Amino acid sequence: MISIDCYAYSNNLKTVHPVEKSLFAMITMVVCLTSPTVITPLIVLALMTGGIVCKAGIPPRVFVKLMLVPLSFLLISVLTIAFSISTNPSGFWLAQTINSVTVGTRYPDLITAVHLFLRSLGAVSCLYFLALTTPMTEIITVLNKMKVPVIITELMVLIYRFIFVFMDTATTIRRAQFSRSGYVSMKGSYRSLSRLFSALLGKVFVKSQELYNSMAARCYTGEIKVLTKKRPVSLRNYLIITGFEIPLILLNLLWR
């Protein structure tokens, strides 16, 4: 999360208007999720990879590492869709029967699983494009312009802040445990891990109270104000977005 925030402030697209980046990411994600063909998600994945790595200047290893995070969850979900267990072996495309129980996959289920996997990867790449190129404060500004309720944007800011507080506190405690040989054995590792969780709850609660006190000392009245730089609006960028989105939409319509 900390590296994502650093790249959001230091990438090559940081000067692009946040509305343009948000519009590009959101429209592309909707087009990807509503795609009836596997071609569109592949194009979206390639497009976002090029935008993140080539245009924004994010290192490829960082993007690959980030994509591996949801990959494990996607694989588990896809496998449950692709494979079935039945006592009736008929209708399976590929199957193995063990003690009158058949485990295998049907062709329509396999196609559905592949389609779902690619659509999910394409949608995740769109979200990563927005997260890696746009700071949280600018995203909040865009949401405020869209008249999103203040309570939602404030919760987003606070949750985003507490993610960093949580990670920093956990890293500090874990480093202290390592320095005291808390993970030299399996038994010691479990003991240290349980103590980490118990200490983390109390420390995060104290940090949250300190955060609220600091906000109250700065005249917090129930609404968090964020200061963002004014970015120039580019007609060229809107034309480029239109040039990318129209072919993808037409591709979806042709395959219906």
pLDDT digits (tens, 9 = 90+) for 200-254: 878 877 877 887 788 778 777 767 776 777 788 888 989 999 999 999 999 999 8
- Is it the case that residue 194 has pLDDT exceeding 70? yes
At 256, the pLDDT band (50, 70, 90 cuts) reads confident
At 178, the pLDDT band (50, 70, 90 cuts) reads confident
**206/187 Cα distance (integer angstroms):** 29
**55/60 Cα distance (integer angstroms):** 12
- Is it the case that residue 146 has pLDDT exceeding 80? yes
Between the CA atoms of 117, 123, 124 and 125, what dihedral angle is there, to the nearest 10 degrees? 110
Cα 6 to Cα 2, 125, 137, 249: the distances in Å are 6, 18, 13, 33
- Is it the case that residue 2 has pLDDT exceeding 70? no
**pLDDT more than 70, % of the chain:** 97
Q: What is the pLDDT of residue 10?
A: 87
Listed residue (14, 20, 57, 6) closest to 229, CA to CA: 14
- 226 neighbors 141 (Cβ within 8 angstroms): yes
Q: What is the mean pLDDT of residues 72-81?
A: 84
Q: What is the mean pLDDT of residues 44-61?
A: 92
Q: What is the pLDDT of residue 138?
A: 86
Q: What is the mean pLDDT of residues 54-80?
A: 87
- Is it the case that residue 94 has pLDDT exceeding 80? no
Please, what is the end-to-end C-alpha distance for the chain in angstroms?
A: 39
Pick 26 or 153 by higher pLDDT: 26
Q: What is the pLDDT of residues 103-143, one digit of tens each?
A: 778 888 888 888 989 999 999 999 999 999 998 888 888 88
Ordered by start, the domain boundaries in the chain are: 2-134+231-255, 151-217
Q: What is the pLDDT of residue 155?
A: 83
Q: What is the pLDDT of residue 1?
A: 55
Q: What is the pLDDT of residue 26?
A: 94
Other CB atoms within 10 Å distance of the CB of residue 141: 22
Enter the pTM of the model: 0.81
